[in-house]
Structure 1
Amino acid sequence: MSDAVLLIGTRKGVVVARSGGARSSWQMNPLQLVMSSVYGVGIDQRGATPRLFAGATSEHWGPSLFHSDDLGASWQEPDQAPVAFPEATGASLARVWQIQPGPPNQPGVVYAGVEPHALFRSEDGGVTFDLVEGLYNHPHRPEWQPGNGGACLHTVVPHPTDPKRLLVALSAGGVYRTTDGGANWEAANSGIQSYWMPEDQRFPVFGQCVHKVSCHPSRPERLFAQNHFGVYRSENYGDSWTAVESGLPSTFGFPVLVHPHLPDTVYLFPLQADSERMPPGKHCRIYRSRDLGESWEPLANGLPQTNYHSAVLRDGLCTDGGEPAGIYFGTRNGEVYGSFDEGDSWQLLLDHLPDVLSVRAAVVA
């Protein structure tokens, strides 16, 4: 019988929770990697045994990437730093923001997006990584700026069938893509606005503060992006983007998620910004579109609707890919909610956690 697994990165460590196939009750392991901020977590299900990843930053020991092959019962850190800049770059790792396993046709490939802006690639299942120098040496790099969270490469979107194609997003640099395995990269931001720029400069080639990008593997050319003000869709792998914001109470937010079985269905968690960074109206609501972002509806059943001040960060919204799909989100006040009916209703699964920074989920044997 299959179990569901939640991997939760928090301000004070990583938590693993498990539930039976019904996903009605959850058992949480003790907090591990204690007193480390875990901004990036990942679950690799391509092998015989799932491998969990946690990008942890300790105020004392610094940043590193840990993995677990026993569903979080224990965590390993290689003797040599798994993610490290070559000495010649003069750069040092500040934080691992994203751990993204490659597609099934690249069984050993794992990507790590880090701060300062850089992409690393592993070919041994995430034990050792090499810098993707084509992106690191991009001529735009000197002009990339840090977002409010840092100079982070926070999104990696592997192409499901073409191993030479890959898309990334970084704050604040925008969306970039490669079609030759990472040797060369081009900006892919046409139509995405930088609202803070002078009016005649609001659509630059690069420099946008894209917060997250998501797609469905059956439609890799169709992308959705949550921007620092602006929600966008591309139908051509980033050649151009169109705003899809009708019905949203705010166009600011961090996460965006495409339903794993319904490629036209998308989820967001809007925030009032820039000054507040709280949900509009102080209501905890996920917003769902069933028509590619052309219209949006609030989902509030089971969620707190008064005096709610918390937020969901860019990697705090995820799915387990199950049948029916579980949709989960973690909040900055230590709650994790789940829905098993496409968002029509929600349940509080875990609470009293530290500040939730990242969440991933999977159904495992």
Structure 2
Amino acid sequence: MGIMATAESYVLAIGTKKGLWLARSTDRKEWSLSGPHFLMSEIPSIGIDTRGDNPRIMVGVRSEHWGPTVAHSDDLGATWTEPEQGAIKFPEGTEAALERIWQIYPDSAARPGVVWAGCEPISVWKSTDGGEHFELNRGLWDHPHRSEWGAGYGGAAAHSIVVNPSGEKVHVAMSTGGVYRSLDGGASWEARNKGISAYFMPDPNPEFGQCVHKIAADAAVEGRLYAQNHHGVYRTDDNGENWISIADGLPADFGFVMLTHPRREGTAWVIPIKADSERIPPDGRLAVHRTDDAGESWKRLDVGLPDHEYNAVLRDAAAVDTAEPTGVYFGTRGGSVYASADEGESFVEVASHLPDVLCVRAAVVSGVVSTGVAAESSAAVASGLPA
């Protein structure tokens, strides 16, 4: 018996070290889980494109045998399509081969069909056919700084892509290299890291070389972005010209996650990790922290989360949806996945004992779609949590 996604239902895609799981819900409290898809393949990136008549789920698949590519499904995971020659392939003369797809970013409704990808080796790609085929952004690839960009602990990653509503301003963040900005839709790029620390370098305030872990844009304030750094949480109000610290009030300034509200000004979420040398939640107590005033203050949110947790949450293993109130989701390296239907005030466990969670994405789905995939398990609501 297939699973039906009904009007205003929710889809949660969970990419792990050993495959993809899909969870579905009508109330964001009880979830049905199906999978695995792409068993034994790494899924480090997911994009859910809701701009068309049917949602398209795109996944960056990395097989140890077949290599990396982007696969997509237009029926919520019932069937998958992979381009025969690969969705992303370095052109001749670049002397490079694709290692991993770190980011899949559907553009705005004003540019249907446009999907961006961030990859390893550090590079940015653009698709105009809904993520089926991508073209290398030569402006960033040919940048004179590229030879000096390095690899973070998990690899060399172009992991964050933020495009403003007009499409002219594009910000990319990479580990390691920092934040780069384009004012011409991606034709040319400049480093924009003033104020972001690189304490591990001889010059702690270089033009580039920072290990920025994640960036996200404020949906309601043009030019405002937030960054979670390798030690440091920052905000810019001028499109990256200057960054200021907003870490005061957090139990730790290290972490990987940076999420922003899809509509409301000043609201963002982080998940602090104690330090780069320990990489566990502070005191082994997992919590999400939310600001509603652009980083002036932070609120600890842990209702429904375990009393003790020693697994970290990776940069793309967290997401928000576009519902009202906004849903907040994340997964741990220990294979637990949590969902909040009230902007982080309380959480329920969607799944447990999955492989290492690498990426989480959520979407509101309208209409009725049959997946043809039977549910393998159901995650019940934890009792006693507020609605």
Match of 1:258 in 2: 260
1:100, CA displacement in angstroms? 0.2
User: RMSD of the TM alignment (CA)?
Assistant: 1.0
Residue deviations 1:214-271 (CA, integer Å, cap 9, x gap): 1133223100000000000000110100000111111100011112232211111111
Match of 1:62 in 2: 67
Count of matched residue positions in the alignment of Structure 1 and Structure 2: 360
TM-score, scaled to structure 2: 0.91
Residues 189 and 238 in structure 1, CA contact (< 8 A), matched pair in contact too? yes
Query: Larger deviation: 224-233 or 341-350?
Result: 341-350
Match of 1:101 in 2: 106
SS at structure 2 position matched to 1:98: strand
2:234 is matched with which residue: 221, 229, 232? 232
Q: Give 1:8's aligned amino acid.
A: I
> Is there any run of 5+ residues in structure 2 with no aligned partner, and where?
1-6, 367-387
Residues 219 and 261 in structure 2, CA contact (< 8 A), matched pair in contact too? no
Measure, in 2, the Cα distance between the counterparts of 1:346 and 1:220.
31
Q: Give 1:240's aligned amino acid.
A: N
Match of 2:39 in 1: 34
Residues 159 and 217 in structure 1, CA contact (< 8 A), matched pair in contact too? no
Residues 164 and 178 in structure 1, CA contact (< 8 A), matched pair in contact too? yes
Query: Larger deviation: 113-122 or 59-68?
Result: 59-68
Match of 1:191 in 2: 195
Match of 1:164 in 2: 168
Alignment of 1:96-245 (within 5 A): 96-160=101-165, 162-198=166-202, 201-245=203-247
User: Does residue 4 of structure 1 match 2:10?
Assistant: yes
SS at structure 2 position matched to 1:135: helix
TM-score, scaled to structure 1: 0.97
Q: Give 1:5's aligned amino acid.
A: V
Measure, in 2, the Cα distance between the counterparts of 1:294 and 1:165.
26
Measure, in 1, the Cα distance between the counterparts of 2:194 and 2:126.
27
Q: Give 1:248's aligned amino acid.
A: L
Measure, in 1, the Cα distance between the counterparts of 2:362 and 2:93.
38
1:108, CA displacement in angstroms? 1.3
Measure, in 1, the Cα distance between the counterparts of 2:211 and 2:44.
18
Query: Larger deviation: 223-232 or 297-306?
Result: 297-306
Q: Larger relative contact order (C-alpha < 8 A, sep ≥ 6)?
A: 2
Residues 179 and 193 in structure 2, CA contact (< 8 A), matched pair in contact too? yes
Measure, in 1, the Cα distance between the counterparts of 2:249 and 2:168.
37
Measure, in 1, the Cα distance between the counterparts of 2:29 and 2:297.
31
Q: Give 1:319's aligned amino acid.
A: V
Match of 2:313 in 1: 312
Measure, in 2, the Cα distance between the counterparts of 1:181 and 1:345.
39
Residues 51 and 68 in structure 1, CA contact (< 8 A), matched pair in contact too? yes
User: Does residue 18 of structure 1 match 2:20?
Assistant: no
Residue deviations 1:312-362 (CA, integer Å, cap 9, x gap): 100111111112211111111111111122211111122121111000000
1:55, CA displacement in angstroms? 0.4
Match of 1:268 in 2: 270
Measure, in 2, the Cα distance between the counterparts of 1:85 and 1:34.
26
SS at structure 1 position matched to 2:35: coil
Measure, in 1, the Cα distance between the counterparts of 2:345 and 2:219.
24
Measure, in 1, the Cα distance between the counterparts of 2:330 and 2:259.
11
User: Does residue 362 of structure 1 match 2:368?
Assistant: no
1:59, CA displacement in angstroms? 1.0
Residues 224 and 256 in structure 1, CA contact (< 8 A), matched pair in contact too? yes
Q: Give 2:197's aligned amino acid.
A: Q
Match of 1:281 in 2: 283
